[in-house]
Chains A and B, each alone.
Chain A
Protein backbone atom coordinates (compact mmCIF):
# COMPACT_ATOMS: atom_id res chain seq x y z
CA UNK A 1 0.00 0.00 0.00
CA UNK A 2 2.86 2.35 0.89
CA UNK A 3 4.31 1.90 -2.57
CA UNK A 4 1.02 1.82 -4.50
CA UNK A 5 1.90 5.06 -6.28
CA UNK A 6 5.29 3.69 -7.30
CA UNK A 7 3.76 0.50 -8.74
CA UNK A 8 1.22 2.56 -10.67
CA UNK A 9 4.02 4.67 -12.14
CA UNK A 10 5.98 1.54 -13.07
CA UNK A 11 2.91 0.09 -14.79
CA UNK A 12 2.36 3.28 -16.80
CA UNK A 13 6.05 3.49 -17.74
CA UNK A 14 5.97 -0.13 -18.95
CA UNK A 15 2.66 0.23 -20.78
CA UNK A 16 3.49 3.38 -22.74
CA UNK A 17 5.95 1.91 -25.28
CA UNK A 18 3.63 -1.10 -25.77
CA UNK A 19 0.59 1.08 -26.37
CA UNK A 20 2.49 3.54 -28.57
CA UNK A 21 5.35 1.66 -30.27
CA UNK A 22 8.03 3.72 -32.01
CA UNK A 23 6.48 6.92 -30.74
CA UNK A 24 8.75 9.98 -30.46
CA UNK A 25 6.79 11.29 -27.50
CA UNK A 26 7.17 8.09 -25.51
CA UNK A 27 10.83 7.38 -26.07
CA UNK A 28 12.54 10.74 -26.59
CA UNK A 29 10.30 12.91 -24.41
CA UNK A 30 9.95 10.05 -21.92
CA UNK A 31 13.72 9.83 -21.49
CA UNK A 32 14.02 13.56 -21.04
CA UNK A 33 11.15 13.54 -18.51
CA UNK A 34 12.71 10.61 -16.64
CA UNK A 35 16.05 12.38 -16.22
CA UNK A 36 14.27 15.49 -14.98
CA UNK A 37 12.24 13.42 -12.50
CA UNK A 38 15.48 12.08 -10.99
CA UNK A 39 16.78 15.64 -10.68
CA UNK A 40 13.57 17.00 -9.21
CA UNK A 41 13.09 14.16 -6.74
CA UNK A 42 16.69 14.60 -5.54
CA UNK A 43 16.34 18.35 -5.19
CA UNK A 44 13.04 17.89 -3.37
CA UNK A 45 14.83 15.94 -0.64
CA UNK A 46 16.88 19.06 0.05
CA UNK A 47 14.28 21.75 -0.68
CA UNK A 48 10.97 20.15 0.09
CA UNK A 49 11.92 18.08 3.11
CA UNK A 50 14.90 19.87 4.68
CA UNK A 51 13.68 23.31 3.55
CA UNK A 52 17.03 24.43 2.09
CA UNK A 53 16.87 26.16 -1.28
CA UNK A 54 19.48 25.46 -3.95
CA UNK A 55 19.59 27.67 -7.03
CA UNK A 56 22.75 25.97 -8.26
CA UNK A 57 21.76 22.35 -8.66
CA UNK A 58 22.52 22.31 -12.38
CA UNK A 59 26.18 22.46 -11.31
CA UNK A 60 26.00 18.96 -9.81
CA UNK A 61 24.02 17.73 -12.82
CA UNK A 62 26.75 19.15 -15.06
CA UNK A 63 29.61 17.82 -12.98
CA UNK A 64 28.18 14.31 -13.24
CA UNK A 65 27.72 14.70 -16.98
CA UNK A 66 31.18 16.16 -17.62
CA UNK A 67 32.87 13.53 -15.44
CA UNK A 68 31.36 10.82 -17.64
CA UNK A 69 32.11 12.74 -20.82
CA UNK A 70 35.74 13.54 -20.01
CA UNK A 71 36.66 10.14 -18.58
CA UNK A 72 35.11 8.15 -21.44
CA UNK A 73 36.19 10.31 -24.39
CA UNK A 74 39.62 11.48 -23.21
CA UNK A 75 40.74 8.60 -21.04
CA UNK A 76 38.72 5.74 -22.53
CA UNK A 77 37.28 4.66 -19.18
CA UNK A 78 34.37 2.22 -19.27
CA UNK A 79 31.05 4.07 -18.87
CA UNK A 80 30.03 2.57 -15.54
CA UNK A 81 33.41 3.29 -13.98
CA UNK A 82 33.24 6.88 -15.24
CA UNK A 83 29.78 7.21 -13.73
CA UNK A 84 31.04 5.93 -10.39
CA UNK A 85 34.00 8.32 -10.48
CA UNK A 86 31.64 11.20 -11.26
CA UNK A 87 29.44 10.30 -8.31
CA UNK A 88 32.49 10.18 -6.05
CA UNK A 89 33.77 13.58 -7.22
CA UNK A 90 30.35 15.22 -6.87
CA UNK A 91 29.74 13.60 -3.49
CA UNK A 92 33.07 14.88 -2.18
CA UNK A 93 32.56 18.40 -3.57
CA UNK A 94 29.04 18.61 -2.17
CA UNK A 95 30.29 17.45 1.21
CA UNK A 96 33.04 20.08 1.26
CA UNK A 97 30.65 22.81 0.16
CA UNK A 98 27.78 21.81 2.45
CA UNK A 99 29.02 23.01 5.85
CA UNK A 100 29.83 26.61 4.98
CA UNK A 101 26.94 27.03 2.55
CA UNK A 102 24.18 25.50 4.68
CA UNK A 103 24.99 27.81 7.58
CA UNK A 104 23.35 30.47 5.43
CA UNK A 105 19.62 31.04 5.45
CA UNK A 106 16.91 32.29 3.13
CA UNK A 107 18.10 34.71 0.48
CA UNK A 108 21.74 34.38 1.51
CA UNK A 109 21.57 30.65 0.83
CA UNK A 110 19.83 31.34 -2.49
CA UNK A 111 22.64 33.75 -3.45
CA UNK A 112 25.44 31.38 -2.43
CA UNK A 113 24.03 28.36 -4.30
CA UNK A 114 23.32 30.54 -7.31
CA UNK A 115 26.90 31.82 -7.23
CA UNK A 116 28.24 28.27 -6.99
CA UNK A 117 26.19 27.30 -10.06
CA UNK A 118 27.52 30.23 -12.06
CA UNK A 119 31.14 29.53 -11.06
CA UNK A 120 30.88 25.91 -12.19
CA UNK A 121 29.25 27.01 -15.44
CA UNK A 122 32.01 29.54 -16.13
CA UNK A 123 34.61 26.82 -15.55
CA UNK A 124 32.80 24.57 -18.05
CA UNK A 125 32.95 27.32 -20.66
CA UNK A 126 36.50 28.47 -19.92
CA UNK A 127 38.47 25.33 -19.07
CA UNK A 128 38.61 24.43 -22.74
CA UNK A 129 41.47 22.01 -22.33
CA UNK A 130 39.31 19.64 -20.28
CA UNK A 131 35.74 20.53 -21.13
CA UNK A 132 35.99 21.48 -24.78
CA UNK A 133 34.77 24.98 -23.90
CA UNK A 134 31.51 26.37 -25.26
CA UNK A 135 31.46 23.73 -28.03
CA UNK A 136 31.31 20.95 -25.48
CA UNK A 137 32.41 17.35 -25.84
CA UNK A 138 31.04 14.95 -28.44
CA UNK A 139 31.44 11.23 -29.04
CA UNK A 140 30.50 10.03 -25.57
CA UNK A 141 29.90 6.29 -25.85
CA UNK A 142 26.55 4.81 -24.75
CA UNK A 143 26.21 2.96 -21.46
CA UNK A 144 27.30 -0.62 -21.48
CA UNK A 145 25.74 -2.86 -18.86
CA UNK A 146 27.70 -6.11 -18.66
CA UNK A 147 28.04 -6.33 -22.41
CA UNK A 148 24.53 -5.09 -23.17
CA UNK A 149 24.98 -1.82 -25.02
CA UNK A 150 22.27 0.77 -24.49
CA UNK A 151 22.20 2.14 -28.00
CA UNK A 152 18.58 2.42 -29.13
CA UNK A 153 15.91 4.84 -27.99
CA UNK A 154 13.80 1.99 -26.66
CA UNK A 155 16.68 0.56 -24.64
CA UNK A 156 17.45 4.01 -23.28
CA UNK A 157 13.81 4.40 -22.39
CA UNK A 158 13.99 1.20 -20.38
CA UNK A 159 17.21 2.13 -18.60
CA UNK A 160 16.12 5.67 -17.78
CA UNK A 161 12.71 4.51 -16.55
CA UNK A 162 14.34 1.90 -14.31
CA UNK A 163 16.71 4.56 -12.96
CA UNK A 164 13.81 6.96 -12.43
CA UNK A 165 11.74 4.42 -10.54
CA UNK A 166 14.80 3.60 -8.44
CA UNK A 167 15.22 7.29 -7.59
CA UNK A 168 11.54 7.61 -6.68
CA UNK A 169 11.73 4.46 -4.54
CA UNK A 170 14.81 5.72 -2.68
CA UNK A 171 13.19 9.09 -2.10
CA UNK A 172 9.94 7.54 -0.83
CA UNK A 173 11.91 5.32 1.54
CA UNK A 174 13.95 8.21 2.89
CA UNK A 175 10.92 10.44 3.34
CA UNK A 176 9.03 7.74 5.20
CA UNK A 177 11.75 7.02 7.75
CA UNK A 178 13.27 8.62 10.82
CA UNK A 179 15.77 10.28 8.46
CA UNK A 180 12.94 11.95 6.55
CA UNK A 181 11.14 13.01 9.71
CA UNK A 182 14.36 14.50 11.07
CA UNK A 183 14.70 16.52 7.86
CA UNK A 184 11.15 17.81 8.11
CA UNK A 185 11.89 18.66 11.74
CA UNK A 186 14.88 20.75 10.61
CA UNK A 187 12.51 22.51 8.21
CA UNK A 188 9.83 23.00 10.88
CA UNK A 189 12.02 24.31 13.71
CA UNK A 190 15.78 23.97 13.91
CA UNK A 191 15.70 24.81 17.63
CA UNK A 192 13.30 22.03 18.45
CA UNK A 193 15.09 19.58 16.18
CA UNK A 194 18.39 20.16 17.98
CA UNK A 195 16.71 19.87 21.35
CA UNK A 196 15.48 16.42 20.36
CA UNK A 197 19.02 15.31 19.66
CA UNK A 198 19.15 15.92 15.91
CA UNK A 199 22.53 17.19 14.75
CA UNK A 200 20.98 19.64 12.29
CA UNK A 201 24.26 20.59 10.63
CA UNK A 202 25.03 16.95 9.93
CA UNK A 203 21.50 16.20 8.74
CA UNK A 204 21.57 19.10 6.28
CA UNK A 205 25.05 18.22 5.04
CA UNK A 206 24.09 14.62 4.39
CA UNK A 207 20.92 15.39 2.51
CA UNK A 208 22.79 18.02 0.46
CA UNK A 209 25.25 15.31 -0.57
CA UNK A 210 22.45 12.83 -1.37
CA UNK A 211 20.66 15.46 -3.41
CA UNK A 212 23.85 16.26 -5.32
CA UNK A 213 24.39 12.53 -5.97
CA UNK A 214 20.91 12.22 -7.50
CA UNK A 215 21.81 15.13 -9.81
CA UNK A 216 25.19 13.66 -10.73
CA UNK A 217 23.58 10.28 -11.51
CA UNK A 218 21.07 12.02 -13.78
CA UNK A 219 23.94 13.96 -15.37
CA UNK A 220 25.90 10.83 -16.18
CA UNK A 221 22.83 9.17 -17.72
CA UNK A 222 22.19 12.35 -19.70
CA UNK A 223 25.76 12.46 -21.06
CA UNK A 224 25.77 8.84 -22.21
CA UNK A 225 22.29 9.06 -23.64
CA UNK A 226 22.90 12.29 -25.58
CA UNK A 227 26.45 11.34 -26.59
CA UNK A 228 27.26 15.04 -26.30
CA UNK A 229 27.51 17.63 -23.53
CA UNK A 230 27.92 21.40 -23.61
CA UNK A 231 27.74 24.08 -20.90
CA UNK A 232 24.31 25.25 -22.13
CA UNK A 233 22.66 22.20 -20.60
CA UNK A 234 23.85 23.17 -17.13
CA UNK A 235 23.42 26.93 -16.89
CA UNK A 236 21.51 29.07 -14.45
CA UNK A 237 18.26 28.64 -16.34
CA UNK A 238 18.45 24.88 -15.79
CA UNK A 239 18.99 25.41 -12.05
CA UNK A 240 15.96 27.68 -11.97
CA UNK A 241 13.92 25.12 -13.89
CA UNK A 242 14.85 22.44 -11.36
CA UNK A 243 13.63 24.59 -8.48
CA UNK A 244 10.52 25.36 -10.50
CA UNK A 245 9.77 21.66 -10.96
CA UNK A 246 9.90 21.04 -7.22
CA UNK A 247 7.75 24.03 -6.37
CA UNK A 248 5.41 23.54 -9.32
CA UNK A 249 4.59 20.00 -8.27
CA UNK A 250 4.33 20.81 -4.59
CA UNK A 251 7.08 20.80 -1.99
CA UNK A 252 7.79 17.92 0.36
CA UNK A 253 6.11 15.35 -1.86
CA UNK A 254 8.12 12.91 -3.95
CA UNK A 255 5.29 12.44 -6.43
CA UNK A 256 4.72 16.20 -6.43
CA UNK A 257 8.29 16.79 -7.55
CA UNK A 258 7.98 14.04 -10.16
CA UNK A 259 4.75 15.58 -11.48
CA UNK A 260 6.40 18.99 -11.60
CA UNK A 261 9.25 17.55 -13.67
CA UNK A 262 6.88 15.82 -16.10
CA UNK A 263 4.65 18.90 -16.35
CA UNK A 264 7.59 21.16 -17.19
CA UNK A 265 8.95 18.69 -19.75
CA UNK A 266 5.57 18.49 -21.49
CA UNK A 267 5.24 22.26 -21.30
CA UNK A 268 8.54 22.66 -23.13
CA UNK A 269 7.49 20.18 -25.79
CA UNK A 270 4.13 21.87 -26.14
CA UNK A 271 5.52 25.39 -26.29
CA UNK A 272 7.92 24.51 -29.09
CA UNK A 273 4.92 25.03 -31.38
CA UNK A 274 4.70 28.66 -30.29
CA UNK A 275 8.40 29.32 -31.05
CA UNK A 276 8.96 32.98 -30.23
CA UNK A 277 6.18 33.04 -27.66
CA UNK A 278 7.69 30.19 -25.65
CA UNK A 279 9.51 32.37 -23.12
CA UNK A 280 6.59 34.68 -22.65
CA UNK A 281 4.12 31.85 -21.99
CA UNK A 282 6.60 30.00 -19.79
CA UNK A 283 7.08 33.06 -17.59
CA UNK A 284 3.38 33.83 -17.39
CA UNK A 285 2.52 30.23 -16.43
CA UNK A 286 5.14 30.19 -13.69
CA UNK A 287 3.70 33.34 -12.16
CA UNK A 288 0.12 32.16 -12.50
CA UNK A 289 0.70 28.77 -10.85
CA UNK A 290 2.62 30.29 -7.97
CA UNK A 291 0.01 32.98 -7.38
CA UNK A 292 -3.10 30.82 -7.70
CA UNK A 293 -1.80 27.41 -6.58
CA UNK A 294 1.01 28.30 -4.17
CA UNK A 295 1.16 24.72 -2.86
CA UNK A 296 1.97 23.50 -6.33
CA UNK A 297 0.04 21.67 -9.01
CA UNK A 298 0.11 18.17 -7.55
CA UNK A 299 -0.35 18.97 -3.87
CA UNK A 300 -2.73 21.88 -4.52
CA UNK A 301 -4.92 19.98 -6.96
CA UNK A 302 -5.04 16.82 -4.86
CA UNK A 303 -6.09 18.85 -1.83
CA UNK A 304 -8.73 20.64 -3.86
CA UNK A 305 -10.03 17.32 -5.16
CA UNK A 306 -10.23 15.95 -1.63
CA UNK A 307 -12.18 19.01 -0.50
CA UNK A 308 -14.55 18.70 -3.43
CA UNK A 309 -15.02 14.99 -2.76
CA UNK A 310 -15.86 15.65 0.88
CA UNK A 311 -18.25 18.45 -0.06
CA UNK A 312 -19.92 16.19 -2.62
CA UNK A 313 -20.36 13.40 -0.06
CA UNK A 314 -21.80 15.78 2.49
CA UNK A 315 -24.06 17.26 -0.16
CA UNK A 316 -25.20 13.81 -1.38
Chain B
Protein backbone atom coordinates (compact mmCIF):
# COMPACT_ATOMS: atom_id res chain seq x y z
CA UNK B 1 0.00 0.00 0.00
CA UNK B 2 2.77 2.39 0.99
CA UNK B 3 4.70 1.43 -2.13
CA UNK B 4 1.64 2.16 -4.18
CA UNK B 5 1.25 5.58 -2.58
CA UNK B 6 4.89 6.32 -3.31
CA UNK B 7 4.33 5.31 -6.93
CA UNK B 8 1.33 7.65 -7.23
CA UNK B 9 3.37 10.40 -5.67
CA UNK B 10 6.23 9.93 -8.14
CA UNK B 11 3.83 9.88 -11.12
CA UNK B 12 1.96 12.86 -9.74
CA UNK B 13 5.06 14.98 -9.29
CA UNK B 14 6.24 14.13 -12.80
CA UNK B 15 2.95 15.13 -14.41
CA UNK B 16 2.60 18.03 -11.98
CA UNK B 17 5.95 19.39 -13.16
CA UNK B 18 4.49 19.80 -16.64
CA UNK B 19 1.46 21.57 -15.20
CA UNK B 20 3.81 23.74 -13.19
CA UNK B 21 5.76 24.82 -16.30
CA UNK B 22 2.56 25.54 -18.24
CA UNK B 23 1.10 27.35 -15.23
CA UNK B 24 4.26 29.42 -14.94
CA UNK B 25 3.75 30.48 -18.56
CA UNK B 26 0.17 31.52 -17.76
CA UNK B 27 1.36 33.56 -14.80
CA UNK B 28 4.08 35.34 -16.80
CA UNK B 29 1.71 36.36 -19.57
CA UNK B 30 -0.96 37.39 -17.08
CA UNK B 31 1.59 39.54 -15.27
CA UNK B 32 2.57 41.35 -18.42
CA UNK B 33 -0.85 41.81 -19.97
CA UNK B 34 -3.76 40.77 -17.72
CA UNK B 35 -4.56 38.28 -20.46
CA UNK B 36 -5.08 34.60 -19.80
CA UNK B 37 -3.58 32.93 -22.83
CA UNK B 38 -5.77 29.96 -23.69
CA UNK B 39 -3.31 29.00 -26.43
CA UNK B 40 -0.72 28.12 -23.78
CA UNK B 41 -1.46 24.40 -24.12
CA UNK B 42 -0.87 24.67 -27.85
CA UNK B 43 2.71 25.78 -27.15
CA UNK B 44 3.19 22.51 -25.29
CA UNK B 45 1.75 20.55 -28.20
CA UNK B 46 3.77 22.49 -30.81
CA UNK B 47 7.01 21.93 -28.91
CA UNK B 48 6.46 18.19 -28.69
CA UNK B 49 5.15 17.71 -32.23
CA UNK B 50 7.86 19.85 -33.84
CA UNK B 51 10.58 17.99 -31.95
CA UNK B 52 9.09 14.67 -33.06
CA UNK B 53 8.94 15.83 -36.68
CA UNK B 54 12.50 17.17 -36.63
CA UNK B 55 13.77 13.96 -35.10
CA UNK B 56 12.03 12.00 -37.82
CA UNK B 57 13.70 14.29 -40.36
CA UNK B 58 17.07 13.11 -39.07
CA UNK B 59 18.13 15.75 -36.58
CA UNK B 60 19.76 14.48 -33.37
CA UNK B 61 17.49 14.72 -30.32
CA UNK B 62 19.17 17.66 -28.51
CA UNK B 63 19.19 19.72 -31.70
CA UNK B 64 15.62 18.75 -32.53
CA UNK B 65 14.52 19.79 -29.05
CA UNK B 66 16.39 23.09 -29.27
CA UNK B 67 15.08 24.00 -32.70
CA UNK B 68 11.52 22.98 -31.72
CA UNK B 69 11.71 25.25 -28.67
CA UNK B 70 12.97 28.18 -30.74
CA UNK B 71 10.27 27.65 -33.37
CA UNK B 72 7.60 27.62 -30.65
CA UNK B 73 9.03 30.82 -29.18
CA UNK B 74 8.71 32.33 -32.65
CA UNK B 75 5.06 31.24 -32.79
CA UNK B 76 4.53 32.82 -29.38
CA UNK B 77 6.03 36.09 -30.57
CA UNK B 78 3.93 36.08 -33.74
CA UNK B 79 0.82 35.42 -31.68
CA UNK B 80 1.66 38.34 -29.43
CA UNK B 81 2.38 40.70 -32.34
CA UNK B 82 -0.62 39.89 -34.53
CA UNK B 83 -3.35 38.80 -32.11
CA UNK B 84 -2.63 40.27 -28.68
CA UNK B 85 -1.09 43.67 -29.40
CA UNK B 86 -3.94 44.84 -31.66
CA UNK B 87 -6.44 44.05 -28.90
CA UNK B 88 -4.60 45.59 -25.93
CA UNK B 89 -7.01 46.93 -23.34
CA UNK B 90 -9.98 44.94 -24.68
CA UNK B 91 -12.38 43.41 -22.13
CA UNK B 92 -11.51 40.06 -20.55
CA UNK B 93 -14.06 38.13 -22.60
CA UNK B 94 -12.67 39.49 -25.87
CA UNK B 95 -9.13 38.46 -25.06
CA UNK B 96 -10.32 35.05 -23.92
CA UNK B 97 -12.01 34.50 -27.29
CA UNK B 98 -8.97 35.76 -29.20
CA UNK B 99 -6.64 33.34 -27.47
CA UNK B 100 -9.17 30.51 -27.83
CA UNK B 101 -9.33 31.37 -31.54
CA UNK B 102 -5.54 31.22 -31.66
CA UNK B 103 -5.61 27.82 -29.94
CA UNK B 104 -8.11 26.43 -32.45
CA UNK B 105 -6.04 27.90 -35.31
CA UNK B 106 -2.79 26.33 -34.06
CA UNK B 107 -4.55 23.01 -33.51
CA UNK B 108 -5.86 23.22 -37.09
CA UNK B 109 -2.36 23.87 -38.42
CA UNK B 110 -0.95 20.95 -36.40
CA UNK B 111 -3.65 18.65 -37.73
CA UNK B 112 -2.81 19.61 -41.31
CA UNK B 113 0.92 19.11 -40.74
CA UNK B 114 0.91 15.93 -38.67
CA UNK B 115 -2.54 14.37 -39.03
CA UNK B 116 -4.68 13.06 -36.20
CA UNK B 117 -2.42 10.20 -35.08
CA UNK B 118 -0.57 9.94 -31.81
CA UNK B 119 3.19 10.37 -32.03
CA UNK B 120 5.86 9.69 -29.48
CA UNK B 121 9.33 10.88 -28.75
CA UNK B 122 12.00 8.38 -27.63
CA UNK B 123 12.98 8.74 -23.97
CA UNK B 124 16.12 10.84 -23.50
CA UNK B 125 18.11 8.12 -21.74
CA UNK B 126 16.43 4.79 -22.18
CA UNK B 127 13.41 3.22 -20.57
CA UNK B 128 15.02 0.94 -17.98
CA UNK B 129 12.99 1.68 -14.83
CA UNK B 130 14.85 2.72 -11.71
CA UNK B 131 13.75 1.04 -8.47
CA UNK B 132 12.91 3.54 -5.76
CA UNK B 133 11.88 1.59 -2.70
CA UNK B 134 8.75 -0.19 -3.82
CA UNK B 135 8.08 2.26 -6.63
CA UNK B 136 9.60 2.44 -10.09
CA UNK B 137 10.81 5.59 -11.72
CA UNK B 138 11.33 6.09 -15.44
CA UNK B 139 14.60 7.80 -16.32
CA UNK B 140 12.50 10.29 -18.27
CA UNK B 141 10.80 11.33 -15.02
CA UNK B 142 14.20 12.32 -13.68
CA UNK B 143 14.70 14.46 -16.78
CA UNK B 144 11.30 16.08 -16.24
CA UNK B 145 11.93 16.75 -12.55
CA UNK B 146 15.50 17.92 -13.00
CA UNK B 147 14.81 20.28 -15.87
CA UNK B 148 11.66 21.63 -14.18
CA UNK B 149 13.65 22.50 -11.07
CA UNK B 150 16.30 24.12 -13.25
CA UNK B 151 13.81 26.11 -15.35
CA UNK B 152 11.79 27.28 -12.34
CA UNK B 153 14.96 28.36 -10.57
CA UNK B 154 16.12 30.25 -13.65
CA UNK B 155 12.77 32.01 -14.11
CA UNK B 156 12.68 32.88 -10.43
CA UNK B 157 16.18 34.31 -10.53
CA UNK B 158 15.29 36.21 -13.69
CA UNK B 159 12.20 37.74 -12.07
CA UNK B 160 13.84 38.62 -8.78
CA UNK B 161 17.41 39.41 -9.71
CA UNK B 162 17.47 41.03 -13.15
CA UNK B 163 16.21 44.47 -14.09
CA UNK B 164 14.23 43.05 -17.00
CA UNK B 165 12.55 40.48 -14.77
CA UNK B 166 11.66 43.08 -12.16
CA UNK B 167 10.25 45.27 -14.89
CA UNK B 168 8.05 42.35 -16.02
CA UNK B 169 6.64 42.00 -12.50
CA UNK B 170 6.18 45.77 -12.23
CA UNK B 171 3.92 45.69 -15.29
CA UNK B 172 1.40 43.55 -13.49
CA UNK B 173 1.01 45.98 -10.61
CA UNK B 174 0.48 49.15 -12.52
CA UNK B 175 0.86 49.36 -16.26
CA UNK B 176 0.63 53.16 -16.43
CA UNK B 177 3.20 53.59 -13.67
CA UNK B 178 5.47 51.07 -15.34
CA UNK B 179 5.27 53.10 -18.53
CA UNK B 180 6.03 56.30 -16.61
CA UNK B 181 9.26 54.92 -15.21
CA UNK B 182 10.33 54.04 -18.72
CA UNK B 183 9.37 50.37 -19.01
CA UNK B 184 8.36 49.57 -22.55
CA UNK B 185 5.19 47.56 -22.05
CA UNK B 186 5.26 46.12 -25.56
CA UNK B 187 8.75 44.76 -25.02
CA UNK B 188 7.56 43.21 -21.78
CA UNK B 189 4.64 41.62 -23.58
CA UNK B 190 6.93 40.06 -26.18
CA UNK B 191 9.26 38.90 -23.45
CA UNK B 192 6.40 37.24 -21.58
CA UNK B 193 5.00 35.53 -24.66
CA UNK B 194 8.42 34.36 -25.83
CA UNK B 195 9.29 33.07 -22.39
CA UNK B 196 6.06 31.21 -21.81
CA UNK B 197 6.06 29.74 -25.31
CA UNK B 198 9.57 28.44 -24.60
CA UNK B 199 8.57 27.04 -21.21
CA UNK B 200 5.51 25.40 -22.76
CA UNK B 201 7.53 23.86 -25.59
CA UNK B 202 10.12 22.46 -23.19
CA UNK B 203 7.38 21.03 -20.99
CA UNK B 204 5.89 19.36 -24.05
CA UNK B 205 9.21 17.91 -25.20
CA UNK B 206 10.00 16.62 -21.72
CA UNK B 207 6.67 14.88 -21.19
CA UNK B 208 6.19 13.58 -24.77
CA UNK B 209 8.18 10.34 -24.20
CA UNK B 210 5.86 9.48 -21.30
CA UNK B 211 2.42 10.54 -22.53
CA UNK B 212 2.57 10.60 -26.34
CA UNK B 213 1.45 13.65 -28.27
CA UNK B 214 -1.11 14.57 -30.89
CA UNK B 215 -2.60 17.73 -32.36
CA UNK B 216 -5.12 17.70 -29.51
CA UNK B 217 -2.65 17.06 -26.69
CA UNK B 218 -2.47 20.73 -25.75
CA UNK B 219 -6.11 21.14 -24.75
CA UNK B 220 -6.06 19.32 -21.42
CA UNK B 221 -2.47 20.32 -20.63
CA UNK B 222 -3.37 23.95 -21.21
CA UNK B 223 -6.43 23.69 -18.96
CA UNK B 224 -4.44 21.99 -16.22
CA UNK B 225 -1.80 24.68 -16.51
CA UNK B 226 -4.50 27.34 -16.23
CA UNK B 227 -5.86 25.49 -13.18
CA UNK B 228 -2.38 25.50 -11.67
CA UNK B 229 -2.07 29.24 -12.20
CA UNK B 230 -5.55 29.87 -10.74
CA UNK B 231 -5.05 27.59 -7.74
CA UNK B 232 -1.78 29.36 -7.01
CA UNK B 233 -3.40 32.77 -7.37
CA UNK B 234 -3.21 34.14 -10.89
CA UNK B 235 -0.20 36.33 -11.59
CA UNK B 236 1.88 34.69 -8.88
CA UNK B 237 4.56 32.70 -10.79
CA UNK B 238 5.74 30.57 -7.89
CA UNK B 239 2.13 30.04 -6.78
CA UNK B 240 1.49 28.53 -10.21
CA UNK B 241 4.39 26.11 -9.75
CA UNK B 242 3.08 24.97 -6.37
CA UNK B 243 -0.43 24.77 -7.83
CA UNK B 244 0.80 22.59 -10.69
CA UNK B 245 2.57 20.13 -8.41
CA UNK B 246 -0.42 19.96 -6.07
CA UNK B 247 -2.75 19.32 -8.97
CA UNK B 248 -0.51 16.61 -10.43
CA UNK B 249 -0.18 14.75 -7.13
CA UNK B 250 -3.88 14.99 -6.28
CA UNK B 251 -4.85 13.83 -9.72
CA UNK B 252 -2.49 10.88 -9.58
CA UNK B 253 -3.69 9.90 -6.10
CA UNK B 254 -7.31 10.26 -7.18
CA UNK B 255 -6.76 8.20 -10.30
CA UNK B 256 -4.97 5.48 -8.36
CA UNK B 257 -7.15 5.29 -5.28
CA UNK B 258 -10.59 6.21 -6.64
CA UNK B 259 -10.97 5.81 -10.38
CA UNK B 260 -8.71 6.59 -13.30
CA UNK B 261 -11.68 7.53 -15.49
CA UNK B 262 -12.56 10.34 -13.10
CA UNK B 263 -8.99 11.67 -13.03
CA UNK B 264 -9.82 14.96 -14.75
CA UNK B 265 -13.01 15.41 -12.74
CA UNK B 266 -11.05 14.98 -9.50
CA UNK B 267 -8.57 17.63 -10.60
CA UNK B 268 -11.30 20.15 -11.36
CA UNK B 269 -13.33 19.35 -8.22
CA UNK B 270 -10.15 20.24 -6.35
CA UNK B 271 -9.88 23.52 -8.29
CA UNK B 272 -13.52 24.38 -7.56
CA UNK B 273 -13.11 23.60 -3.86
CA UNK B 274 -10.05 25.84 -3.66
CA UNK B 275 -11.93 28.68 -5.37
CA UNK B 276 -15.03 28.29 -3.21
CA UNK B 277 -12.96 28.69 -0.06
CA UNK B 278 -10.21 30.98 -1.39
CA UNK B 279 -11.81 33.01 -4.21
CA UNK B 280 -8.40 34.36 -5.29
CA UNK B 281 -6.42 31.14 -5.11
CA UNK B 282 -4.16 29.76 -2.41
CA UNK B 283 -1.48 32.41 -2.72
CA UNK B 284 -3.53 35.12 -4.39
CA UNK B 285 -3.24 37.79 -1.72
CA UNK B 286 0.51 37.47 -1.64
CA UNK B 287 0.50 39.14 -5.04
CA UNK B 288 -0.62 42.37 -3.42
CA UNK B 289 1.93 42.08 -0.64
CA UNK B 290 4.77 41.89 -3.11
CA UNK B 291 4.53 45.60 -3.85
Contacts and interface: CB of A to CB of B under 8 A. Distances in A.
Q: Do chains A and B touch in the complex (CB under 8 A)?
A: yes
Interface of A: 47, 53, 55, 100-101, 103-108, 110-112, 114-116, 118-119, 122-123, 125-126, 236, 240, 243-244, 247, 251, 276-287, 290-291, 294
B97 A108 contact: no
A103 B97 CA distance: 22
A68 B92 CA distance: 35
Interface in B6-35: 30
Given A236-B219, A284-B105, A290-B101, 11 more contacts: A108-B281, A243-B93, A243-B97, A279-B105, A283-B102, A283-B104, A284-B101, A286-B101, A287-B102, A294-B87, A294-B91
Contacts of B108: 277-283
Contacts of B226: 111, 114
A280 B275 contact: no
Nearest to B85: A291
A111 B227 contact: yes
Contact of A107 (B92, B102, B105): B92
Contacts of B249: none
Contact of B92 (A100, A106, A244): A106
A283 B261 contact: no
Interface of B: 30, 36, 83, 86-87, 90-94, 96-98, 100-109, 111-112, 219, 223, 226-227, 230, 234, 259, 261-262, 264-265, 268-269, 271-272, 275-276, 279-281
Given A53-B92, A280-B105, A112 B98 contact: no
Contacts, number: 129
Contact of A279 (B107, B272, B276): B107
Nearest to A115: B268
B230 to A, nearest CB: 4
Contacts of B87: 290-291, 294
A286 B98 contact: yes
Contacts of A279: 104-105, 107-108, 111
A276 B223 contact: no
Given A103-B279, A291-B87, A276 B262 contact: no
A53 B93 contact: yes
A119 B268 contact: yes
A122 B265 contact: yes
A229 B15 CA distance: 33
A244 B97 contact: yes
A280 B109 CA distance: 6
A210 B104 CA distance: 30
Given A278-B108, A281-B108, A110 B271 contact: no
Contacts of B36: 107, 110
A286 B96 CA distance: 11
B94 A294 contact: yes
Contacts of B272: 101, 112, 115-116, 119
B98 A119 contact: no
B234 A290 contact: no
Contacts of B107: 279, 283
B86 A118 contact: no
A108 B227 contact: no
A150 B82 CA distance: 49
A104 to B, nearest CB: 5
A291 B86 CA distance: 7
B93 A108 contact: no
A223 B100 CA distance: 28
Closest 9 pairs (CB-CB, A-B): A283-B105, A286-B101, A280-B108, A279-B108, A283-B104, A115-B268, A287-B101, A122-B265, A126-B261
8 contacts: A55-B96, A107-B92, A108-B280, A122-B261, A276-B112, A279-B105, A284-B105, A294-B94
